Amino acid sequence: MKLLKLLANLGYGSRKEVERFFKAGAVTDADGNTLGEKDSVPYELIRFKGEPLDPLAPLTIMVNKPDGYTCSTEDADVTVYDLLPPRFERRNPGLSSVGRLDKDTTGLLLMTDDGPLLHRIIHPKYKLGKVYEVELDRPLEGHESEIFASGTLTLKSEGRPLLPAELEVTGEKTARITLHEGRYHQVRRMFAAVGNHVVSLKRISIGGLTLPNDLEEGEWRILEQKDLDTLFGK
């Protein structure tokens, strides 16, 4: 691929802006020699303003999502893209959230430009559990685990019952729940169905991949192949 198109696809700018970067000498090789739009240089040796380029597609990242950020770009709110370098929102192919978290849900969010990978993570047929830590308004009554595990609980205005979900009670008003599907506001609606109310919700793992302790809220990290292997339990 031509250097100009490569940089534009990585979101460094529109074609016109990238042309200007070339003219200004912002694109160099590792030794600082200025590159032209048509030069052919191994990708790892290209520098933009002295920095190595972002990874090519396919790219998958994990984000520790803070409260107050939406996963959708369709509204004017603060979005998870605001946590990333601005060029990430302009990448082609674009990065999408792997299953959305509500605005006020925190924790592990994956974003990828790899459609088949996204499908493998979210489709119930691949049975990747998503684990959430839940804080509730009222004490648990003791019957919730059985109801959630039954495979017969049907949420309001839905025709199909939920897949069985596992509940681990961790305190009077706290629990960990593992889902194997991702319906709209699922955890909140499940607890509403048993007469409770979710006060806070944090996703702590997807498949074998757990939110690392050293990834602070608002931080993100590129996933390596070994992380994807961990995710799928290889």
Give catalytic residue positions.
102
Q: How far is the CB of 222 from ligand URA (least distance, A)?
A: 23
CA neighbor of 154 nearest in space, from 163, 145, 166, 141: 163
Which listed range, 19-27, 72-80, 101-109, 161-169, lies at the site for ligand URA (CB under 6 A)?
A: 101-109
Nearest residue (CB) to ligand URA, 120 versus 183: 183
Return the residues of window 168-207 that contact ligand URA according to CB under 6 A: 185-188, 201
Task: Find all residues with CB under 8 Å of 116, minimum gap 6, and list them.
Answer: none
Q: What are the residues facing 97 on neighbouring strands?
A: 111
Sole window of 13-21, 73-81, 98-106, 143-151 interacting with ligand URA (rule: CB under 6 A)? 98-106
**Residues 210, 110: Cα–Cα separation, whole Å:** 11
Nearer to ligand URA, 64 or 186 (CB): 186
Query: Within its chain, how far is the Cα of 190 from the centroid?
Result: 23
Question: Among residue numbers 52 through 91, which ones bind ligand URA (CB under 6 A)?
Answer: none
Of residues 56 and 149, the one with the C-beta less far from ligand URA: 149
Q: Where are the alpha helices (DSSP H) in the chain?
A: 3-9, 15-23, 115-122, 144-149, 186-193, 225-231
147: alpha, beta or left? (left if phi > 0; alpha if psi -120 to 50): alpha
Among 8, 46, 62, 101, binds ligand URA (CB under 6 A): 101
- What is the closest distance, in whole angstroms, from the C-beta atom of residue 195 to ligand URA in the complex? 16
Which one, 201 or 206, has the nearer CB to ligand URA? 201
Closest to ligand URA by CB, 26 or 190: 190
- Nearest C-alpha neighbor of 165 from the set 195, 136, 135, 134: 134
What number of helices (H) and strands (E) belong to the chain? Answer: 6, 12
Least distance in Å: CB of 200 to ligand URA? 11
Mapped onto helix, strand or coil, the DSSP state of residue 206 is strand
- Which residues within the stretch 105-134 sit at the binding site for ligand URA (CB under 6 A)? 105
Backbone angles phi, psi at 5, to 5 degrees: -70, -40
Q: Which residues pair with 107 in a beta bridge?
A: 65, 203
- φ and ψ at residue 56, rounded to 5 degrees: -70, 165
| Least gap, CB of 105 to ligand URA (angstroms) | 3
Shortest reach from residue 204's CB to ligand URA, in Å: 12
Asked if 162 interacts with ligand URA (CB under 6 A), we say no
User: Which residues of the chain form contacts with ligand URA (CB under 6 A)?
Assistant: 101-102, 105, 185-188, 201
